[in-house]
Amino acid sequence: MYLALQFCPMKINFLKSINLVLILFLFSCENNNDNNIEEVVIRDASLQSPEDDIELRLYLESHFYNYEDFESFPNDYSLKIKIDTLSGDNINKTPLINMVQEQNLTVKQDDIDIPHKLYYLVAREGNSSRPSNIDSTFVTYQGSLIDGSIFDSRDLPLWFDLAQVVQGFRMGITNFKSGSYSVNTNGSVNFEGFGQGVMFFPSGLGYYSNTNSGIPQYSPLIFSVSLLTMNISDHDNDGIASYLEDIDLDGEPLNDDSDGDGNINLYDADDDGDGVLTINELDKDNDGVIDDTDGDGVPDYLDPNTSN
């Protein structure tokens, strides 16, 4: 069972019957060259990022997608995004570069923030909820390389815990909204109104110097994705949604560790390390307001000076 399925079971019971196969492509991984660790020289990301950007832009300038289908059939949610080269009969189509939007992100290397640019194409924005970069998303997708080779493809939707996937995917998918669903009498589920698009990102937002099945080192990645539905995650079930465990408000909930115990807040059920679980410190008087007993502006669950 997926971790993501455990977070909000009330909402997603109908999905539990869907037989999903866990795949690892999107998941961050350790360097798999441990046996030869002394031979590995990791490239300088401040050089790799602009190189990847040139490759990505060349791709976006030389390819288009089937936007005419999406314009002609705006309510046909069986449509899939197809990308092709601008050549022959298609030479006058609008290139992707004229249709994508840009998202500026950073990746830390040796404690330095290196700029990385992600491009995303919105074929359909979607009309329900926009996930944060730490929520759970129910998606279909296809992953490919710049050369067009497909390294993974899923037509059966599956849950991705965005805390576990590569940065490009988890940041890029926040540009889309989920859709709505209805359950048919035979138990099958129809999705519509969902966000649909493509993310194009440099290797630094993907696997960088690691390899994965079908993905060489330093590969920029392309993901077309449909965001069918989503759930707000509370990874540690402490009553604080994971996106609200971004205490320094830098937009990244994966770098906050209030008590410095090495366990980031979104996985730490006792965020201030005072021995009292966050869930028992949040709202002791049950008035629906998070408690700050000593009135110092730090809520009790983050204030080791206030534990009862």
Q: Nearest residue to Ca ion, using CB?
A: 268
Stretch that binds Ca ion, among 80-88, 94-102, 122-130, 233-241 (CB under 5 A): 233-241
Is residue 197 a contact partner of residue 175, using CB atoms and an 8 Å limit? yes
Of the ranges 66-74, 187-195, 263-271, 284-292, which one interacts with Ca ion (CB under 5 A)? 263-271
Contacts of 76 (CB under 8 A, 6+ apart): none
Question: Which listed residue (52, 161, 236, 303) binds Ca ion by CB under 5 A?
Answer: 236
Question: Measured between alpha carbons, how far is residue 96 from residues 17, 47, 168, 270 in Å?
Answer: 38, 25, 18, 47
257 binds Ca ion (CB under 5 A): yes
Q: How many CB atoms lie within 10 A of CB 14?
A: 12
Compare residues 52 and 270 and give the one whose CB is closer to Ca ion. Answer: 270
CA distance 262 to 268: 9
Of the pair 185, 308, the CB lying nearest Ca ion is at: 308
Q: Which of 34, 110, 250, 287 binds Ca ion (CB under 5 A)?
A: 250
Binding of Ca ion by 293 (CB under 5 A):
no
C-beta closer to Ca ion: residue 64 or 301: 301
Helices H, strands E: what count in the chain?
Answer: 5, 10
Measured from the CB atom, the residue of 69 and 292 that comes closer to Ca ion is 292
Quick check: 52 binds Ca ion (CB under 5 A)? no
Q: Which of 268, 299, 303, 306 binds Ca ion (CB under 5 A)?
A: 268
Secondary structure (DSSP) of 215-258: B-TT--EEEEEEEEEEE---TT-SSS-GGGG-TT-SS-GGG--T
Q: Is 255 in the site for Ca ion (CB under 5 A)?
A: yes
76 binds Ca ion (CB under 5 A): no
Question: Interior CA angle at 77 toward 76 and 78, to 5°?
Answer: 95
> How far lies 129's CA from each of 81, 224, 234, in Å?
21, 19, 17
- The contact set with Ca ion (CB under 5 A) reads 236, 238, 246, 248, 250, 252, 255-257, 259, 261, 263, 265, 268, 270-272, 274, 276, 281
